[in-house]
Structure 1
Amino acid sequence: MRLVLWHFMGGSGWIDASELVAEAHDRGPYFAKRLRSWIRAFLEDPHNLPVNTANTWNRSALENEDLELAISEHLQSVGKYVRAADIVEYLADPRVQQHFGLSDTISLSTAQGWMHQLGFRWRKVPHGQYVDGHEREDVVKYRQEVYLPALNAIRPRLRQYDEHGEEVHSNVPAASLPRRVCLFWQDESTFFANDRRVVRWVNEREKPVPRAKGEGASLMVSDFFSAEDGWLRSEDGQTQARRLFRPGKNRDGYFTNDDVLQQFHAAADIALSRWPHEDIVFVVDNAPTHQKREATALSARSMTKNLSRTFGVEIPILDEAGRPVHGSDGKVSKARVRMADGTFADGTKHSLYFPDDHPDPELRGAFKGMVKLLEERGYSSVGRLRAQCDSFNCPAPPPDTPPLAYYSQHPCCCRRLLYEQPDFKAVKSRLEMEMEARGVQVIFLPKFHCELNPIEQCWGSSKKEYREKPSSSKEADLERNVVDALDSVSLHSMRRFYTRSLRFADAYTKGLTGKQAAWASKKYRGHRVIPDTIFEELTNAGISAD
């Protein structure tokens, strides 16, 4: 409108000025006529300005959670240099349009807005540690050699679900089927009182209002879920495995290994009662509170090289009620006890201490020392070795060479030789031992692999619902909102999350990297496994392992 008036004041005719501006904006005579109409209305009433009604009658397609998840996975498969154009190109695929009921792709400007909604910002990359934990050598080794074999061993006995969340039944007679496995996924997540939705359409007349500073009060949730029945609860719904915990020094304290064990025993009670004819398996992450070992567990960490009469493990002294006893200085009193025995290759016990009735009084009950322990295991000339390499940074064995075999041939220090012994490596956590005593198997997830734990998506879905709740600083409101948000996650969604995690596991089993697995999981959405032709498809699509 301003350009039309400028041309008109410069000597152009009224119609010529409007058509000149319309042509400059790649518009036709109709737009020129609209410009003249708007200007006349404005000259009669300066407050009468045209309103752009574009897109005011449409709902965003991104409100579809499945579409949002699909786009997120697609961007993950692209890598770190993603573009808004990647969304446009993805939605231009006829298969994607058919799957989500779309008639066309979106514009680049809409895609840029979606990038913001998906959590992307056009800014400098934040600097952190130069490490890629997901593809770190030790993490990949654990994933491929420990986690996946354990999961694949029970996978034929797991229930399977289709893309609609319905169980896929086998044609094999029930009497011929192996004993079922009921898989429970466990994790913790924290909800904050001030965690609320911050991006929305704001009316231009809306004024700033005071808001709380910081995240506010927090509530930690620790829970289990299965694809069979959702959140783990008793059949009558009166007992549940869920634990709500208010972390903080002046609140409930902190979630310790003892709290973990107590919750897992309660979860085992419910699971064993509800599924007495199935094997129960708990899948948990590699958190220190889950991995904690017995205080007296076998460990080469602080062993002395030679004989010691003082070496042992300090444990807190407890009273009859199981509470720590404090000394006059206010500190917890501790007692020194012996470390647990080792195990020889033939399965016999290997005591770390000389017997109490040893002929030499100086040796009775004394710790043997690492040199003596290694000699009793068949090593010679270990007395010439150092107790430990500097900062325990020992020379790394060549690829594909077992560490124990390498260090046995090229010993560098006593501690490393003991550290690599099978019985030292195989020490189980308290959680594993106590659950195995009840007939429950525990499988630890690889680090940095949230895509393998479907409960992570349950947290994401529930937090999206939680952020829509009314804001409140009251503890009771916080708990009620959290519980309501958790219970809003449907069983159908949980089964989709479960199937997705198994699809990722199958991709890793076939040798795919994280980037390739994300692409394959997105392409074969709804499938329980990835086809054997996946590498050919990855090559054709130009998806490399890097």
Structure 2
Amino acid sequence: MAEFEKRMAQSHEGAELKRIPLTLNPGEKEVITEFHDESGFNALEYKMKAWLSPRQLILQKKTRGHLIHVSDLINQADGRLDAQKVIYPGSNSDARWDTEQLIIQMKEAISIFEEAHPDCQGLFIFDQSSAHASLGPDALHAWTMNKSDGGKQCKQRDTVIPESNPYPELCGKPQKMTLPNGDAKGMQRVLEERGFDVRKMHAKCTPVCPMENNDCCMACLLSKQEDFANQSSMLETLITEAGHYCIFLPKFHCELNLIEMYWGWVKYRFREIPKKTFQDAKDMAFKYLDACPTEVITLIRRFIN
């Protein structure tokens, strides 16, 4: 973040935020942060506290109702990026939000960002989740490989033997992960091509590998290799190949994601209104998602600053 910050526009703090002219080195572009997050609105969510007369009750529904799932991005320059995606997951409705849907959204978000800021690079910031960390279908997975070649195992992408390999003469050499006949290579062949003698090593520990261990079995040894251990997720690959940046917040630190201020304002208003139907809930959600006031946006911009 310290390196990125050198290329981010700052503002004078005061009654109004006034942009400080940004000085860039030749070839550098301004960096604009795009904070991403997802939030859910249940159709029957309603405030939990109210003023009542003696013996008066509010009968709350036992269910929270149908879910409205929102995925959005927010930044200092524009507020919302206008790449919002809303789905209604449920047994007879949309599928649950997943990596595939996020990738589709991010392709559109990158296009919108580049149109709005043609001479800038985006720094897309995400929280930690399994969807954000998902690897591609041809990613390097030691634990899904067989000991021997062929058989029922996924075909993985070709790789390059990392510079950290203990046998210098093999470092930097390309390594194919399939045989000439198209069969997937097994762990034993892959490790032997990297210089390891694994003839007396078993394929995988049962039930799990011992703690603090790097070479108890072939799968453990291979999974610790740099190219297997340090793979980019599909999300990160998409963003970096488009010429932008991608980072992930520390786990369990939602307070570092400023979009939570936006969710908080919207949900507070959403819960103040009783909803009788799912259409009422959708109308209220969209009303307040589009109604975040200037003072909240200013607070978010001060947070970024």
TM interval, shorter chain, is 0.7 to 0.9
Change (3 A) 1:288 1:173: closer
Please name the residue that 1:270 is paired with.
112
Structure 1 residues 178 and 493, CA, compared in 2 at 3 Å: closer, same or farther?
farther
1:373-428 deviation digits (Å, cap 9, x = unpaired): 11211222x2212222334333316xxxxxxxxx3xxx321111111111112222
- Conserved 8 A contact 2:36-2:71: yes
Does 2:173 match 1:348? yes
1:283 and 1:445 in contact (8 A); partners too: yes
What is the one-letter code of the residue matched to 1:166? L
Distance 1:282 1:175, change over 3 A: closer
User: Higher helix fraction: Structure 1 or Structure 2?
Assistant: 1
The structure with more strand, counted as a fraction of residues: 2
User: How do residues 245-324 of structure 1 correspond to structure 2 at under 5 angstroms?
Assistant: 245-305=87-147, 307-313=148-154
Determine if the alignment matches structure 1 residue 244 to structure 2 residue 86: yes
Q: Secondary structure of the equivalent of 1:260?
A: helix
Native 8 Å contact 2:46 2:271 kept in 1: yes
Q: Find the partner of 2:208 among 389, 392, 395.
A: 392
Give the alignment of 1:486-497 within 5 angstroms.
486-497=289-300
Give the whole-Å Cα distance in 1 for the aligned partners of 2:262 and 2:210: 42
SS at 1:289 equivalent: coil
**What is the Cα deviation at residue 223 of structure 1?**
0.5
Q: CA deviation at 1:267?
A: 0.9
- CA distance in 2 between partners of 1:244 and 1:207 (Å): 37
- Cα deviation, residue 482, structure 1: 1.0
Q: Give the equivalent residue in structure 1 for 2:38.
A: 188
Q: CA 1:200/1:366 → structure 2, altered by over 3 Å: closer, same or farther?
A: closer
Distance 2:217 2:24 in 1: 56
Deviation string for 1:246-278 (max 9, x for gaps)? 011211121222211111111111111000011
> Which protein, 1 or 2, shows the higher relative CO under an 8 Å CA cutoff with sep ≥ 6?
2
Contact 1:343 1:350 in 2 (8 A): yes
Q: CA deviation at 1:489?
A: 2.6
Separation in 2 of the partners of 1:354 and 1:492? 62
> Rg: which structure is higher?
1
Alpha-carbon shift at residue 431 of structure 1 (Å)? 1.8
- Give me the whole-angstrom Cα distance separating, in 2, the residues matched to 1:193 and 1:212: 11
Give a deviation string over 1:269-290, Cα, whole Å, max 9, x none: 1111000011112111222222
Within 5 Å, give how 1:428-467 maps onto structure 2: 428-467=232-271
How many Å separate the matches in 2 of 1:462 and 1:294?
A: 35
Please state how far the C-alpha of 1:451 moved relative to its aligned partner.
1.3
Give the conservation status (yes or no) of the 8 Å contact 2:144–2:153. no
Residue 163 of structure 1, CA deviation: 6.4
2:204–2:217 CA contact under 8 A, matched in 1 = yes
Among all aligned residue pairs of Structure 1 and Structure 2, give the percentage whose two residues are the same amino acid. 27
The 5 A counterparts of 1:402-413 are: 407=214, 411-413=215-217
Tell me by how many angstroms 1:184 deviates. Answer: 0.5
SS of the residue corresponding to residue 195 of structure 1 reads coil
Per-residue CA deviations over 1:460-502 (Å, capped at 9, x if unaligned) read 1211121222x123232212211222233335434534654x6
Aligned pairs (5 A) from 1:208-247: 208-233=57-82, 241-247=83-89
RMSD between superposed Cα atoms in Å: 2.5
Q: 1:371 aligns with which of 184, 188, 191?
A: 188
- Secondary structure of 1:390's aligned partner: coil
Unaligned runs of 5+ in 2: 163-170
SS in 2 for 1:221: strand
Matched residue, 1:325: none
What is the deviation of 1:173?
5.9
Greater displacement, 172-181 / 220-229: 172-181
Aligned residues: 296
Residue type at the aligned position of 1:473: K
Counterpart for residue 17 of structure 2: 166
Provide the residue aligned with 1:20 in structure 2: none
Check conservation: 2:209, 2:216, Cα contact below 8 A.
no
Q: Counterpart of 2:17 in structure 1: which amino acid?
A: E
Asked if the contact 1:217/1:473 (under 8 Å) is kept, the reply is no
* Gap change, CA 1:263 and 1:415, over 3 Å in 2: same
In 2, the alpha carbon distance for the partners of 1:189 and 1:158 equals 27
Aligned-partner residue type, residue 152 of structure 1: A
Aligned residues of 1:185 and 1:284 also touching (Cα < 8 A): yes
Match for 2:286 among 479, 483, 487?
Answer: 483
Q: What secondary structure sits across from 1:447 in the alignment?
A: coil
Deviations 1:424-471 (A, max 9, x none): 1222222222222322322122221101211122211211121222x1
Q: Kindly indicate whether the alpha-carbon contact (under 8 Å) linking 2:156 and 2:184 is maintained by their aligned counterparts in 1.
A: no
User: Structure 1 residue 196: deviation in Å?
Assistant: 1.4
Structure 1 residues 388 and 492 mapped into 2: Cα distance closer, same or farther (>3 Å)?
A: farther
> Structure 1 counterpart of 2:81, which letter?
L
Deviation at 1:340, TM superposition (A): 1.4
Match in the other structure for 2:166: none
| Structure 1 position 212, deviation (Å) | 2.3
The letter for the 2-side match of 1:310 is G
8 Å CA contact 1:185–1:226 kept in 2: the answer is: yes
Kept in 1: contact 2:7–2:24 (CA 8 A): no
